[in-house]
Amino acid sequence: MIDKEIFKLCKKFGSEYDVDPYLIFGIIKTESAGNEYADSGYARGLMQMSRIALKDIQKDLLHKYKYSDLFKPEINVEVGTIFLKKMITYWKKKYDENYLSISLAILSYAWGITNSIKWLKSVADNSQIDESIPEKKKYYNENVMFWMSFARERFNA
């Protein structure tokens, strides 16, 4: 899918669920590079939604989507945005600081909220902070921020 079409979906669902469309775009580009048919074996589509995440947000959806529906860009971005909103809401209740709550929401989107909570509780000193995060997830937030910045420049924020 081309970036312009992806960003239209980001704007649509960002507005509908009160999530920054640039953040949604950043996650899409980090997760799937904009490939609507991306399939890791564990997750699929633009926002790389898993069966577990889909099941987790089914109660929040008006429609009951199947896992096979996640290759459809509009459905995938809606499901992914609702899931991301859950992560943001959780961390904003815990930490009022916007940057901290958004950063932890992004990490939780990639690594899971349970892993993120355990990480915050288990680290005892500076030497353990990045040692505790899997290599594949260490630069996830930076990648998302890069793509958010890219989108702001490209789509005239």
Q: What is the pLDDT of residue 157?
A: 52
Q: What is the pLDDT of residue 49?
A: 97
Kindly report, residue by residue over 88-140, the tens digit of the pLDDT.
999 999 998 889 999 999 999 999 999 999 999 988 888 888 888 888 888 99
pTM for this predicted structure: 0.94
In the block, which residue shows the tokens 């992560």?
87
The torsion region of residue 112 among left (phi > 0), alpha (psi -120 to 50) and beta comes to left
Residue 77 near residue 24, CB atoms below 8 Å? yes
Domain locations in the chain as residue ranges: 3-154
Q: Which fold has domain 3-154?
A: Lysozyme (1.10.530)
What mean pLDDT is predicted for residues 70-81? 97
What mean pLDDT is predicted for residues 11-40? 98
Provide the b/e sequence for 123-141 (b: ≥16 CB within 10 Å). Answer: eeeeeeeeeebeeeeeebb
Neighbours of 60 (CB within 10 A): 12
Q: Pairing mode, if any, of strands 49-50 and 43-44?
A: antiparallel
- Asked if the model's pLDDT at residue 155 lies above 80, the reply is yes
Q: What is the pLDDT of residue 2?
A: 96
d(CA 81, CA 88): 10
Average pLDDT, the chain: 93
The counts of H helices and E strands in the chain are: 8, 2
| HSE of 129, CA atoms in CB hemisphere, 13 A | 3
Residue 65 near residue 75, CB atoms below 8 Å? yes
